[in-house]
């Protein structure tokens, strides 16, 4: 019967039916695939604005941490029209950044990060250029002693200068913001430029103070909104200030680089810049090289700004915690007295100073200075914990949720050095201690930062006790952070009292 009917239907009509049938089947198949590609849960977004009214842009990490308690360790928020996947909790962040490092290892270059570096340098770059600059930077800094005995000596020399500066205060209240930053930047300056600056040097002060302001402004609400709606830039005061800072910063660093270039001797490399310039000369016939002026400038800017701010901010938190908790400070000083005495502390002493080491780690954990790390993107489509995440999706590893993870830390919101001590008082490593992030984008200066923090902190505690000013109690010291791209202590006076 069917064959009889089809005899009277033109062949073209039969072909149309076949095409329609196949199309319907394909549509149903793809719809099924889409249903199986389940997106992470999250709050319902508004058109265009997304979830802007459901988060506090002045303390975004805390808002996201609160949302994670409702929506789970993998959830979706909309920053304006942009979808962002948030990863919360130690196990989830580790699974993504370490166990699936390739899938989650790309950098999200937001509009403000593009304005900063134009995708050159290390921090805000991807692809072959990033790989080569990271490889070259790690190799070169290690050659100049990063994390080794050579850099230890440079830090110890700088500790002496910093102690001398504190001595000048004669125990009077001071705001330690600038001096500590200058000391930390000098360690980096030795590696980058082969020189140190006096703390009163206008160029050093300009570079460090400007970088501090830039890092603060980058985390402000108006810049977060700019990243969602870049066309607003020219009308935003903070964006204009950032662009001015970047141009002035490039001018200052280009002058230093030009001086090194004029006195370059390829047979005697004095610093990171010399090695880069020599490499550039050797490869000048290769048009496809990554060793060009932009990569040099922005790599130096990245290392100098990020390395100074994060390390100096951590040391400032350490000193504030000591003033806040004098009984902890006394135990640190007792241990230093017993193990080191009056001689200079060295890195080898760390293994014999378990309580001091625990105090430093606990200060880093509770201070939580980089609460959201720098955003990542997925390098390909990925299914993660049962959810489908499309290639190119922005991913925020919420380090706040790692360092304050209730399933990993006994008292996550309390300053408690016992988090890093066993029952015998020996130091123990904790996997959930992740202040430097993890995976492919882990901080490449971690070994230098750890050495900086340990030597500066112990050297200062050997010579000084840190207290609130007269008339201010320990309870009145404010631990509420100043929120920028990093979290820094409130400007408030401390006294560095010479120990007898």
Q: Give me the phi and psi of 467, to 5 degrees please.
A: -135, 160
Distances (CA, A) of 358 to 232, 336, 437: 45, 13, 19
pLDDT attached to residue 30: 47
Is 41 within a domain?
no
Strand partners, 440: none
Determine contact, residues 464/496, Cβ cutoff 8 Å.
yes
Is 188 within a domain?
yes
Split into its structural domains, the chain has a count of: 1
Is 6 within a domain?
no
* 177-193 helix and 202-218 helix, angle to the nearest 10 degrees: 110
Global pTM exceeds 0.75: yes
Instruction: Give percent helix, percent strand, percent coil of the chain, each to the nearest 5.
Output: 55, 10, 35
Is 18 within a domain?
no
Distances (CA, A) of 92 to 136, 261, 331, 385, 461: 31, 46, 36, 9, 37
pLDDT attached to residue 25: 52
Is 3 within a domain?
no
pLDDT attached to residue 15: 54
Determine contact, residues 389/456, Cβ cutoff 8 Å.
no
pLDDT attached to residue 288: 62
pLDDT attached to residue 378: 96
Left, alpha or beta for 274 (phi > 0: left; psi -120 to 50: alpha)? alpha
Q: How far is 455 from 159, CA to CA, in rounded Å?
A: 8
Task: State the maximum Cα–Cα separation within the chain, in Å, rounded to a whole number.
Answer: 112
Per-residue pLDDT of the chain (500 residues; tens, 9 = 90+): 545 444 544 545 455 565 555 554 555 444 444 445 799 999 999 999 999 999 999 999 999 999 999 999 999 999 999 999 999 999 999 999 999 999 999 999 999 999 999 999 999 999 999 999 999 999 998 888 776 667 889 999 999 999 999 999 888 888 767 899 999 999 999 999 999 999 999 999 999 999 999 999 999 999 999 999 999 999 999 999 999 999 999 999 999 999 999 999 988 888 999 999 999 988 866 556 899 999 999 999 999 998 899 999 999 999 999 999 999 999 999 999 999 999 999 999 999 999 999 999 999 999 999 999 899 999 999 999 999 999 999 999 999 999 999 999 999 999 999 999 999 999 999 999 999 999 999 998 898 999 999 999 999 999 999 999 988 999 999 999 999 999 999 988 899 999 87
Using CB atoms within 10 A of its CB, is residue 327 exposed (0-12), middle (13-18) or buried (19+)?
exposed
- Write the CATH number for 140: 1.10.630.10
Is 29 within a domain?
no
Cα 355 to the center of its chain, rounded Å:
26
Using CB atoms within 10 A of its CB, is residue 216 exposed (0-12), middle (13-18) or buried (19+)?
middle
Could you tell me which residues come within 8 angstroms of residue 437 by beta carbon, excluding any fewer than 6 positions away? 97, 370, 373, 374, 397, 399, 443
Q: Which helix (H) or strand (E) holds 312?
A: helix 293-324
Dihedral angle of Cα 358, 362, 364, 369, to the nearest 10 degrees: 180
Determine contact, residues 377/393, Cβ cutoff 8 Å.
yes
Distances (CA, A) of 6 to 1, 11, 21, 124, 479: 9, 9, 16, 64, 83
Q: How far is 139 from 272, CA to CA, in rounded Å?
A: 10
Q: How far is 338 from 360, CA to CA, in rounded Å?
A: 18
Could you tell me which residues come within 8 angstroms of residue 231 by beta carbon, excluding any fewer than 6 positions away? none
Is 22 within a domain?
no
Q: Is 318 annotated as a binding residue?
A: no
Q: Look up tokens 């570079």; give the residue.
A: 207
Determine contact, residues 482/489, Cβ cutoff 8 Å.
yes
Q: Which domain holds residue 413?
A: 49-498
* 3-class SS letters over 81-112: CEEEEEEECHHHHHHHHHHCCCCCCEECCCHH
Determine contact, residues 210/241, Cβ cutoff 8 Å.
no
**Helix extents (H) in 144-220:** 149-167, 177-193, 202-218
Q: How far is 112 from 240, CA to CA, in rounded Å?
A: 11
Is 415 within a domain?
yes
Determine contact, residues 401/88, Cβ cutoff 8 Å.
yes
């Amino acid at each position: 019967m069917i064959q009889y009917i089809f005899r009277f239907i033109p062949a073209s009509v039969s072909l149309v039916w076949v095409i329609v049938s196949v199309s319907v089947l394909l549509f149903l198949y793809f719809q099924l695939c889409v249903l199986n590609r389940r997106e992470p849960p999250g709050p319902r977004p508004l058109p265009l604005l997304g979830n802007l009214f459901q988060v506090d842009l002045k303390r975004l990490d805390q808002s996201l941490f609160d949302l994670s308690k409702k929506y789970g360790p993998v959830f979706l928020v909309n920053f304006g029209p942009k979808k962002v996947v948030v990863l919360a909790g130690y196990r989830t962040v580790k699974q993504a950044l370490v166990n699936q490092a390739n899938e989650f290892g790309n950098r999200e270059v937001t509009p403000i990060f593009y304005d900063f570096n134009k995708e050159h340098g290390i921090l805000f770059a991807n692809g072959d250029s990033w790989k080569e600059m990271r490889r070259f930077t790690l190799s070169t800094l290690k050659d100049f002693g990063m994390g080794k005995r050579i850099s230890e000596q440079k830090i110890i020399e700088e500790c002496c200068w910093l102690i001398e500066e504190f001595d000048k205060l004669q125990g009077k209240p001071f705001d330690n913001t600038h001096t500590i930053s200058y000391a930390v930047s000098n360690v980096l300056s030795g590696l980058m430029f082969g020189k140190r600056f006096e703390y009163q040097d206008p160029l050093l002060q300009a570079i460090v103070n400007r970088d501090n302001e830039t890092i603060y402004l980058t985390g402000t609400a108006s810049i977060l909104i700019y990243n969602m709606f870049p066309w607003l830039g020219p009308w935003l005061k903070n964006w204009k200030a950032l662009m001015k800072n970047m141009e002035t910063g490039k001018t200052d660093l280009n002058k230093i680089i030009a001086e090194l270039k004029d006195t370059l001797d390829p047979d005697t490399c004095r610093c990171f810049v010399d090695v880069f310039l020599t490499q550039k000369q050797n490869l000048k016939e290769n048009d496809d090289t990554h060793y060009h002026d932009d990569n040099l400038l922005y790599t130096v800017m990245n290392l100098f700004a990020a390395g100074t701010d994060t390390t100096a901010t951590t040391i400032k938190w350490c000193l504030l915690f000591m003033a806040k908790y004098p009984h902890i400070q006394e135990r640190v000083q007792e241990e230093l007295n017993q193990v080191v005495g009056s001689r200079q502390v060295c890195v080898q002493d760390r293994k014999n100073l378990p309580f001091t080491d625990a105090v430093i780690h606990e200060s880093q954990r509770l201070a939580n200075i980089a609460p959201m790390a720098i955003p990542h993107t997925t390098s390909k489509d990925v299914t993660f914990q049962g959810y489908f995440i499309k290639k190119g999706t922005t991913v925020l590893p919420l380090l706040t949720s790692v360092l304050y993870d209730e399933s990993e830390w006994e008292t996550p919101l309390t300053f408690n050095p016992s988090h890093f001590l066993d029952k015998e008082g020996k130091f123990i490593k904790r996997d959930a201690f992740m202040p430097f992030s993890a995976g492919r984008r882990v901080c490449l200066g971690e070994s230098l930062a750890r050495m900086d923090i340990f030597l500066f902190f112990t050297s200062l505690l050997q010579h000084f006790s840190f207290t609130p000013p007269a008339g201010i109690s320990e309870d009145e010291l404010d631990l509420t952070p100043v929120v920028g791209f990093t979290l820094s202590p409130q400007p408030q006076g401390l006294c560095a009292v010479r120990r007898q």
